[in-house]
Structure 1
Amino acid sequence: MLCKIDNNLRILYRLSGYTAAFFLILVATFILTGIASRIFGFYIRGLAEYSGYSMAASSFLALAYTFGEKGHIRITLFLEKSKKNIRRILELWCLFVASFFSCYLSYYFIKMLIISIKFGERSEGADEILIWIPQLTVAIGSTIFFICVIHNFILSILKKSNF
């Protein structure tokens, strides 16, 4: 049962990473379109804003994938010098702290999203889109990251992960 959950979560992290890559391609597309439009003498409204929204989506959706692939900056240099028992305690403590802060982050992004939907907030850019649309990807990305950190914390407790 745990193996199936583990596999499904890893698929979720990979999909989140692929979605982040898609948004990164969108950033490049919006920037290149903006450059081309200036060269050819016309203006497309909102390209700078959409590029920013796509960058935020890409950043937050990539968090879980990067964490799962051990791509985040960690304290391994410090941990490698520690004794085995102390190392395990420090790893669990670090994952616990990361779990707390990622939960806090997700909670407030979701709360901000709900408030934006409730009040119908719009962006201040040229296109005035509903601000909850770009906030949704950030909230989803931070929530998937929280799930990933908790997942690794549980695996470390069960000694199935050498994080």
Structure 2
Amino acid sequence: MRRALDAFYRLGGALSAINLTLIMVMIVVQVLSRVLDELLAWLGFNPLGLNVPGLAELAAFMLLGATFFGLAYTFWQGGHIRVTLLLQRLPQSAHRVMDILALLSAAAITAFAAWHSAWLTWDSYDFGDLSIGMVPVPLWIPQAAMVMGLLWLLVALLDALVSLLSGRIAQLHDEVPQE
């Protein structure tokens, strides 16, 4: 089970990286096409007009995917910000209690956000909402990425909570033994 969950989190990280890579490729192509058009105009030729309308909106939607798909992977790798100033001064038992309370709170907040994001996504789908901009994108598509990312994070939080409660890890972001 541990290997399957780790692969699940790595998949989220990979999807996040793919989104970031696509954003970079789109921006580089856009910049190079503008440079080429300027160079052609400077040389006295007609510009090719390779400007892609709506690129900024598409990049914003991909940034949403990159952010939310990467949440669970980043959490499981210990990349989220934690305030350890107090935790490092607590005895091990109190540290464990604080980790459990933090995971319960984070799971509740994430479940709440996922639930309401899912309703928002359903409403956008049901009403046929489209993005405002050059390229009309059905809003439920990027919103679905947000919901999936939140659900991914919820699984990671619950996984960490079960691992902590079962004693497989002593405190949050300790090494999880491989099964």
Q: Is the pair's TM-score, using the shorter chain for normalization, greater than 0.5?
A: yes
Q: Distance in 1 between matches of 2:34 and 2:133?
A: 18
Residue 31 of structure 2 is aligned to residue 12 of structure 1: no
Which residue of 2 is the match for residue 34 of structure 1? 30
> Structure 1 residue 105: deviation in Å?
1.4
Whether the 8 Å CA contact 1:122–1:131 is kept in 2: the answer is: yes
> Structure 1 residue 136: deviation in Å?
1.5
Which residue of 2 is the match for residue 87 of structure 1? 95
SS of the aligned residue for 1:77 comes to coil
Residue 51 of structure 2 is aligned to residue 55 of structure 1: no
Q: Distance in 2 between matches of 1:74 and 1:141?
A: 20
TM-score (norm 2): 0.84
4+ long deviations beyond 6 Å: none
> Structure 1 residue 34: deviation in Å?
2.1
Q: Distance in 1 between matches of 2:101 and 2:33?
A: 51
Residue 66 of structure 2 is aligned to residue 70 of structure 1: no
Higher helix share goes to which structure? 1
Residue 32 of structure 2 is aligned to residue 24 of structure 1: no
Name which one, 1 or 2, has greater alpha-carbon Rg.
2
Q: Where does structure 1 lack aligned partners over 5 or more consecutive residues?
A: none
SS of the aligned residue for 1:20 comes to helix
Whether the 8 Å CA contact 1:106–1:142 is kept in 2: the answer is: yes
* Sequence identity percentage: 26
TM-score (norm 1): 0.92
Residue 115 of structure 2 is aligned to residue 119 of structure 1: no
RMSD: 1.2
